[in-house]
């Protein structure tokens, strides 16, 4: 008998949502392994000034746990983190989390049909393993020559050093992505000088953030259906964006006009405007939303490449030395190399990362299951990311699918589930075929969505309801299923 029927790695939206869903299906012999000291994932780690969601809050939350109390249309990080803690407590998940236990390896035991999981605190076994380690949970700091010699403070936006006082400092921010666009306007009034190093300009659309009114709060509490209607409206509005992303990227020109209008309004200097104007189709890289302007007297934008970092400065390719007391990296995360894949070892003893590199690409059936890795489900797996709407919608669809698989296993006494290689390959061909006309492949940019071979292994190339439809229930014909009359499946609910 394994120690647990289900082990979930991670306690962000995916891990909490998965455990809650299983509990509702009466599958309660579940443990969550979390390397950090608290739950919340993204929303625990990204506490930088100005951190907030960039998809409206009514949609960026679980459908089964609406929050009538969101204070803003794009709620700030502390509120989202508090929301996750509340949901975990209400759904009986918090008590199942083992904090401070990082999974260092998980190996499939083919004789016992269990996963043997090594954590920083010991070993345990589980019949089913679900990774919920997130698409953006391992910060990426580029290997710039000389970085180790820098004498001042150095940190990544996902590990903000709140003890370091930025007041009156010369600060260098490396990167102009989704996080930098949020914290730069917040730290600008504090610092003496802010030098922002930009590799490629992002497309920036106005951020229509506002306070949720008292009347709305009252209405959402008294008549919860009104909040569901608001959510549905946001969902439908966002799905129309998919037309431009995946069906006809030419449509994005209309949104580019909007972004260029904001840029003209904010930046008078023609040279700076040119350097802030993207040369690729909008959507090819992540679209940012902000209504803040970079044009402040203490801010300078540097677009030359970084050559090296010295004890007290950043040196660019043209030889200019930019003095700095602190370096803040807003350089994103390990995405296409999926760190957890290096720690999971399947049927033939090879890791998931090795399996994927042997196939020359990350693939997973329904973004979730991989041949050679029985009883493993990967949440936010290959091609389940989004460029236009709430990731939580995709997470919920996936969670439903996995719960349905486990319910099927319970019903039929199945102890081993493995996707058929042919089903996985056919699924991947279809995903990549749909991917071809998308803005991510045709938009003329190089983004973190693509792997080293230029394949988009990150994003879902269709409307999200198509994915939700495909994952509405477990589909046994795509799987090899092993029943065990000898070892009747451990009671899924103990």
Residue numbers at the binding site for ligand FAD (CB under 6 A): 9-15, 33-36, 41-42, 46, 51, 53-55, 60, 102-103, 132-137, 179, 340, 379-380, 390-391
Q: Which helix (H) or strand (E) holds 153?
A: strand 153-156
CB of 122 to ligand FAD, least distance (A): 13
Cβ distance to ligand FAD smaller for residue 41 or 76:
41
State which residue, 58 or 416, has the beta carbon closest to ligand FAD: 58
Q: Taking a C-beta distance cutoff of 8 angstroms, is the pair 97, 39 a contact?
A: yes
Minimum separation from the CB atom of position 288 to ligand FAD (A):
11
The Cα-based distances of 347 to 107, 374, 481 in angstroms read 8, 8, 15
* The two three-digit tokens of residue 188, written as one number: 């600008």
What region, left, alpha or beta, does residue 375 occupy, with left being phi > 0 and alpha being psi -120 to 50 degrees?
A: left
CA distance 10 to 33: 6
C-beta of 8: minimal distance to ligand FAD in Å? 9
Helix (H) or strand (E) holding 83, with range, is helix 77-90
Q: Measured from the CB atom, is 25 or 36 closer to ligand FAD?
A: 36
Nearer to ligand FAD, 86 or 273 (CB): 86
Task: Name which of 103 and 414 has its Cβ closer to ligand FAD.
Answer: 103
Between CA 385 and CA 391 the distance in angstroms is 7
Work out how close the CB of 77 gets to ligand FAD at its nearest, in angstroms, rounded to a whole number. Answer: 8
- Smallest distance from ligand FAD to CB 343, Å: 6
Shortest Cβ 137–ligand FAD spacing (Å): 3
> At closest approach, how far in Å is the CB of 224 from ligand FAD?
23
**Region class of 92: left (phi > 0), else alpha (psi between -120 and 50), else beta:** left
Place of tokens 């919340």: 40
To the nearest whole angstrom, how small is the minimum distance from the Cβ of residue 13 to ligand FAD?
4
Nearer to ligand FAD, 170 or 290 (CB): 290
Nearer to ligand FAD, 88 or 263 (CB): 88
Task: Using the minimum distance from each CB to ligand FAD, give the nearer residue, 267 or 287.
Answer: 287
**Nearest distance from C-beta of residue 454 to ligand FAD, angstroms:** 23
Residues present in the chain in total? 494
Q: Is 383 exposed, middle or buried, given 0-12, 13-18 or 19+ CB atoms closer than 10 A?
A: buried
- Cα distance between residue 21 and residue 168, in whole Å: 49
Handedness of CA 278, 283, 288, 292 (dihedral sign): positive
The rounded distance, in Å, linking the Cα atoms of 49 and 201 is: 22
For ligand FAD, which is the closer residue by CB, 390 or 424? Answer: 390
Residue whose token pair is 């302007």: 293
CA atoms within 13 A on the CB side of 168: 0
- Of the candidates 307, 381, 353, the one whose C-alpha atom is nearest the C-alpha of residue 142 is 307
Classify 383 as helix, strand or coil.
coil
Which residue, 286 or 312, is less far from ligand FAD as judged by CB? 286
Shortest CB 11 distance to ligand FAD, Å: 5
């Amino acid at each position: 008998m394994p120690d647990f029927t289900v082990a979930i790695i991670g306690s962000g939206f995916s891990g909490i949502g998965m455990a809650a869903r299983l509990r509702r299906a009466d599958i309660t012999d579940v443990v969550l392994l979390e390397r950090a000291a608290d739950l919340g994932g993204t929303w625990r780690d990204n506490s930088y000034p100005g951190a907030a969601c960039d998809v409206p809050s009514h949609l960026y939350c679980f459908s089964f746990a609406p929050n009538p109390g969101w204070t803003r249309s794009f709620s700030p990080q502390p509120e989202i983190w508090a929301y996750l803690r509340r949901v975990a407590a209400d759904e009986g998940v918090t008590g199942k989390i083992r904090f401070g236990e990082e999974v260092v390896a998980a190996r499939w035991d083919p004789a016992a049909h269990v996963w043997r999981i090594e954590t920083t605190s010991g070993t345990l076994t589980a019949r089913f393993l679900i990774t919920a380690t997130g698409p953006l949970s391992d910060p990426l700091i580029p290997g710039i020559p000389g970085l180790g010699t820098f004498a001042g403070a150095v940190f990544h936006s996902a590990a903000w050093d709140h003890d370091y006082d930025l007041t009156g400092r010369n600060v260098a921010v490396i990167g102009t992505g989704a996080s930098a666009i949020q914290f730069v306007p917040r730290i600008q009034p504090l610092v003496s000088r802010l030098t922002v190093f930009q590799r490629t300009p992002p497309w920036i659309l106005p951020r229509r953030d506002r306070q949720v009114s008292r009347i709305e709060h009252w209405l959402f509490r008294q008549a919860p259906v009104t909040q569901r209607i608001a959510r549905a409206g946001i969902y439908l509005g966002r799905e129309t964006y998919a037309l431009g992303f995946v069906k006809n990227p030419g449509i994005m020109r209309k949104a580019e006009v909007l972004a260029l209008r904001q840029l003209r309004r904010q930046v008078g200097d023609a040279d700076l405007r040119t350097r802030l104007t993207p040369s690729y189709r909008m959507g090819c890289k992540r679209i940012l939303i902000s209504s803040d302007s970079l044009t402040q007297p203490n801010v300078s934008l540097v677009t030359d490449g970084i050559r090296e970092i010295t004890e007290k400065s950043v040196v660019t390719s043209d030889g200019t030395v930019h003095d700095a007391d602190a370096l803040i990296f807003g350089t994103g995360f390990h995405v296409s190399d999926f760190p957890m894949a290096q720690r999971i070892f399947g049927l033939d003893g090879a890791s998931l990362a090795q399996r994927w590199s042997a196939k020359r690409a990350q693939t997973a059936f329904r973004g979730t299951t991989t041949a050679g890795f029985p009883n493993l489900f990967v949440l936010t797996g290959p091609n389940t990311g989004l460029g236009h709407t709430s990731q939580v919608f995709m997470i919920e669809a996936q969670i439903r699918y996995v719960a349905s698989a486990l319910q099927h296993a319970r019903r039929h006494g199945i102890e081993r589930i493995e996707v058929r290689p042919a089903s996985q390959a056919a699924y991947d061909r279809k995903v990549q075929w749909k991917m071809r006309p998308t803005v991510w492949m045709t938009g003329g940019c190089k983004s973190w969505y693509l792997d080293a071979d230029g394949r988009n292994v990150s994003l879902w190339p269709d409307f999200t309801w198509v994915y939700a439809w495909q994952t509405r229930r477990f589909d046994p014909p795509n799987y090899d299923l092993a029943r065990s009359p000898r070892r009747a499946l451990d009671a899924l609910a103990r």
